[in-house]
Amino acid sequence: MNCEVISIGDELLIGQTVNTNASWIGSQLNLEGFDVNYGVVISDESTDIIKALKVAERRSDLIIITGGLGPTKDDITKHTLCDYFETELILNKEIEDKIITYFKARGLPILQTNRDQALLPKNCKILNNSKGTASGMWFEKDNKNFISLPGVPYEMKAIMSEEVIPKLRIEYGNGYHLINKTIKTHGMGESFLAEVIKDWEEGLNLDEIKLAYLPSPGIVKLRLTILGFEKEILNQKLNYQIEKLKELIPNQIFGFENDTMESVVGKLLNQVSSTVSTAESCTGGTVAKLLTSISGSSSYFNGSVVTYTNQSKEEILEVDSNVLNTEGAVSQTTVEKMAKKVRSIFHSDFGLATSGIAGPSGGTNDKPVGTVWIAISSNERTISKKLNLGYNRERNIHVSALSVLNLLRLELVKMNLTKSS
Amino acid sequence: MNCEVISIGDELLIGQTVNTNASWIGSQLNLEGFDVNYGVVISDESTDIIKALKVAERRSDLIIITGGLGPTKDDITKHTLCDYFETELILNKEIEDKIITYFKARGLPILQTNRDQALLPKNCKILNNSKGTASGMWFEKDNKNFISLPGVPYEMKAIMSEEVIPKLRIEYGNGYHLINKTIKTHGMGESFLAEVIKDWEEGLNLDEIKLAYLPSPGIVKLRLTILGFEKEILNQKLNYQIEKLKELIPNQIFGFENDTMESVVGKLLNQVSSTVSTAESCTGGTVAKLLTSISGSSSYFNGSVVTYTNQSKEEILEVDSNVLNTEGAVSQTTVEKMAKKVRSIFHSDFGLATSGIAGPSGGTNDKPVGTVWIAISSNERTISKKLNLGYNRERNIHVSALSVLNLLRLELVKMNLTKSS
């Protein structure tokens, strides 16, 4: 079934509101195995809505429309749909009672505009809105389905989940499945990665699997998509290819689907009952922030020191002033000492450290902007690595934080292997 | 000028990526006074791209296309545009040199796919990408403008800001102005704020100024919009209203336009030549991360300690173990001691501290999830405040960080007033 999402609202066109509704609807339809082929954003103008409906009717089987169902004057979707489907508004007593109850329960006065939300098109199925007063509407015309939903995200989501998806499953669920799997990698740029996995990528064609590269700072996501009827076989094909990919880039794959570097590291730390603390210079607390963004992180995260001055590196982390004067704050010796010392200060199993030039200023010929040293230290050993990043401060900070977490991840994976072997 | 934004990418249709690019482009065009009438999202299929271009050509004057310009096989936009505009790819030596330099500077190997990014359509203007290797392209056909940009947000933004917008201004700026001013507030919820500024809001109508409330966690942005021909008069009207608003909510307004809480605090710290350090528990390094996200923050930020365990609160910040046992880690005494001690450890003028229950677990009857103590300490005094936030971990962390920075901001504003009086 070909699906199309039409979002109505000037605020979307001028970027005042990001169109998260369309993303969410797309993800839900995709999960059900329906193809989402078009997304359209138009203004709150009757003529634009009519034009978009005409185009959608030609190319799509299911059209989901959001926005313009509120009680105020600029909400014109309901009237426009009546024109398009040549019908009229009639009072729905049941919905009127619901609206009255809704306002009474909240101790709010009911205005005529609120009551008017019970005026609904004669020839559509009414979809119950459990979270508000704007009903959803389902029109059918020549085997095409048009569903109109409010633009308020939690109301739209409630109607989609409680009314639309269950009905779609019954009427159009036909054993046809579209399955996505996302593999998350760190440590290789998009084009270098593409080169390394070139033969594997070609092999995907045989299984009719599509591959998309989705790069973001420090991370390249690989999305595999497969279409077909037998869910189990489709999953088997994807899993087979993922296993092959793991052999090619074992150290680069850090997770799947909604995994993040920090969630993966957190799980691994819990598995080996280890704790961590960080000593940060150029990342300025970002590694700590990432680690503590995970609920339950207090079981493995002990704390951090952000040493932004040389004085604090000396006094708190006992970096030798000679080292700071000769090798500098951005050096292997400094970052290794930072990692070792923060481990002991916080009595943790692992110490992580970062020191670099995030930019845009502060670079030298020897150490240009983007030069970053990272280190991890355990009671067994201390490992450090030099990164050569680019010129964007935000990106440098973020990629440095991911890189030091990845260094820890690789160490934890080894520990897990040793433990289980 | 009628504008249309075409976003290419399956990941957008199936909701794997939220289409923030289209929002951002819409907002930039809107700021320049151009009408944005259509947004279209399509898959990475040549036929869909061609169809969308045909429709756009009929109804829009300026068509901005994002996505599909990467070096990998699934990036087909460049080839499709060549078909559509009946042209061919030729090697652009200048761009090839740039790409080689880009990779050399990062010490990375150059692959053929990277070099191929210098193959560009013959009959388009090349738009320089200062942040990456995928050039932008500007085609003209029958007085219609087609601009193709990469989908990577920071690359797209760089080309838009540095190349597209300046050219559009020169060629299509027509004396008509739409001016937006954004006022940023912290400390009052949206509906409470609306009640406080109700009369002022009504007064805006007289000047034909539109007001939009744009709430996000811990911040409500107020956007004023005015339309007209004489820029100076429009600006005067907006500034007059902003001055009136300042009288109504002097402590809530922390900045304008692109100001962030951390950039404002940074400027104020520089003005009074003061330094700051933070002791964080529930915010886990977020305050430090915000402060150090600002380039040049090393002139006022000395460092931080994230004490996630009671032991580290005792050992590093000398919080009395009796206090931790009786009053708890989330208490006024604890957070004030943290602020005082971190100030002395880092020899800074101000110490900030946070301690609370970010959730979702860890709440008690006395101290439910969302209970947070914040404090700031200087050589003159220590101030603390209790926040009662909600149940969302991410939001609690972010709002706590903003709140403690705002506490510092108000103190710095007072110092500045004293200095200048």
Secondary structure element (H or E) that encloses residue B94, with its range: helix B93-105
Question: pLDDT tens across B56-94, in order?
Answer: 999 999 999 999 888 777 789 999 999 999 999 999 999
Average pLDDT over residues A271-286: 97
Q: How far apart are CA B85 and CA A88, in angstroms?
A: 46
Per-residue pLDDT reduced to its tens digit, A50-70: 999 999 999 999 999 999 887
Tell me the pTM: 0.79
Residue at a domain's end among B172, B190, B223: B172
Whether A196 and A302 share a structural domain: no
Q: Using CB atoms and an 8 Å cut-off, which of residues 97-156 of chain A contact chain B?
A: none
Residue B84 distance to chain A (closest CA, Å) = 20
B116: number of Cβ within 10 Å: 16
Range of the domain at A380: 261-420
Q: What values do phi and psi take at A368, rounded to 5?
A: -70, 165
* CATH classification at residue B30: 3.40.980.10
Q: Is the pLDDT of residue A413 over 90?
A: yes
Residue B263 in domain: no
Comparing B102 with A140, the larger pLDDT belongs to: A140
Q: Residues with Cβ < 8 Å from B195, sequence gap 6 or more?
A: none
pLDDT for A205 beyond 90 = no
Name the DSSP letter for residue A109.
P
Distance CA B261, CA B264 (A): 5
A114 and A203 belong to one structural domain: no
Confidence band of A376 (pLDDT split at 50, 70, 90): very high
Mean pLDDT of the region A132-138 = 92
Q: Which of A172, A191, A218 is the last residue of a domain?
A: A172
Cβ pairs bridging A and B (under 8 Å): 262
Instruction: Please give the Cα distance from B348 to B416 (Å, whole number).
Output: 18
Question: The tokens of A289 are what?
Answer: 């922030």
Within this chain, do residues A52 and A132 fall inside the same structural domain, yes or no? yes
B53-57, B362-366, B391-395, range with greatest mean pLDDT: B53-57
Question: Across the interface, do A192 and B28 touch by the CB < 8 Å criterion?
Answer: no
Mean pLDDT, chain A, as a whole number?
93
Q: What is the pLDDT of residues B151-203, one digit of tens each?
A: 999 999 999 999 999 999 888 876 677 788 999 999 988 878 988 999 999 99
Residues A122 and A27 in one domain: yes
For residue A65, the SS3 value is strand
Summarize pLDDT for B269-327 with one digit per residue, the tens: 999 999 999 999 999 999 999 999 999 999 999 999 999 999 999 999 999 999 999 99
Q: Distance (Å) from the C-alpha of residue B240 to the closest C-alpha of chain A?
A: 24
Shared domain check, B130 and B77? yes
For chain B, how many residues are written?
Answer: 421
User: pLDDT confidence of B419, banded at 50, 70, 90?
Assistant: confident
Q: With respect to residue B357, please indicate whether it lies within any of the assigned structural domains.
A: yes
Q: Identify whether residues B127 and B166 lie together within a single domain.
A: yes
- B379-386 contacts, C-beta under 8 A, 24 or more apart: B379/B349, B382/B336, B382/B339, B382/B340, B383/B407, B383/B411, B384/B332, B384/B335, B384/B336, B384/B339, B386/B332
What CATH number is given to the structural domain containing B205?
3.30.70.2860
pLDDT in tens, A311-366: 999 999 999 999 999 999 999 999 999 999 999 999 999 999 999 999 999 999 99
Q: How high is the pLDDT of residue B174?
A: 67
Do B379 and B278 share a structural domain?
yes
Q: Could you give the number of structural domains in chain B?
A: 3
Is B262 domain-assigned? no
Residue from B3, B5, B16, B345 to probe the interface with A (highest A Cβ count within 10 Å): B16
* pLDDT band of A400, cuts 50, 70, 90: very high
Work out the average pLDDT over B396-407. 97
| A416 and A269 in a common domain | yes
Pairing of strands A276-280, A301-307: parallel
Separation of alpha carbons B215 and B192, rounded Å: 12
pLDDT computed for residue B213 by the predictor: 81
Query: Do residue B287 and residue B390 come from a single domain?
Result: yes
On whether the CB atoms of residues A326 and A384 are closer than 8 A, the answer is no
- Burial class of A202 by CB neighbour count within 10 A (0 to 12, 13 to 18, 19+): exposed
What backbone torsions phi and psi does residue A35 show, to the nearest 5 degrees? Answer: -80, 130
Nearest by CB to B19, from A19, A215, A345: name it.
A19
pLDDT at B2: 92
Residue whose token pair is 């030091």: A404
Starting at the earlier edge strand, list the strands of the sheet with A253-256. A210-216, A219-228, A177-185, A253-256
What are the tokens at A200?
């594997």
As a whole-number percent, the residues of chain B with pLDDT over 90 amount to 77
Probe site for chain B from A19, A220, A227, A393 (most B CB atoms < 10 A) = A19
Residue A88 has pLDDT above 90, yes or no: yes
pLDDT tens per residue across span B19-66 = 999 999 999 998 888 889 999 999 999 999 999 999 999 999 999 999
Nearest CA-CA partner of A38 in B3, B39, B46, B77: B39
Same domain, residue pair B31 and B128: yes
- Note the ipTM here: 0.79
- Assigned domain for B238 exists: yes
Question: So what's the pLDDT on residue B421?
Answer: 66
Co-location of B9 and B134 in the same domain: yes
Note whether B247 and B330 are same-domain residues: no
Which pLDDT band holds residue B206 (cuts at 50, 70, 90)?
confident
Angle between helices A393-420 and A261-271 (to 10 degrees): 30
CATH of residue A317's domain is 3.90.950.20
Residues of B in contact with A16 (CB under 8 A): 27, 212, 214, 223
- CA atoms within a 13 Å half-sphere pointing along the CA-CB vector of B192: 9
- Comparing alpha-carbon positions, the chain A residue that sits nearest to B360 is A295
What confidence score (pLDDT) does residue A28 get?
92
Cα–Cα dist B325/B319, whole Å: 11
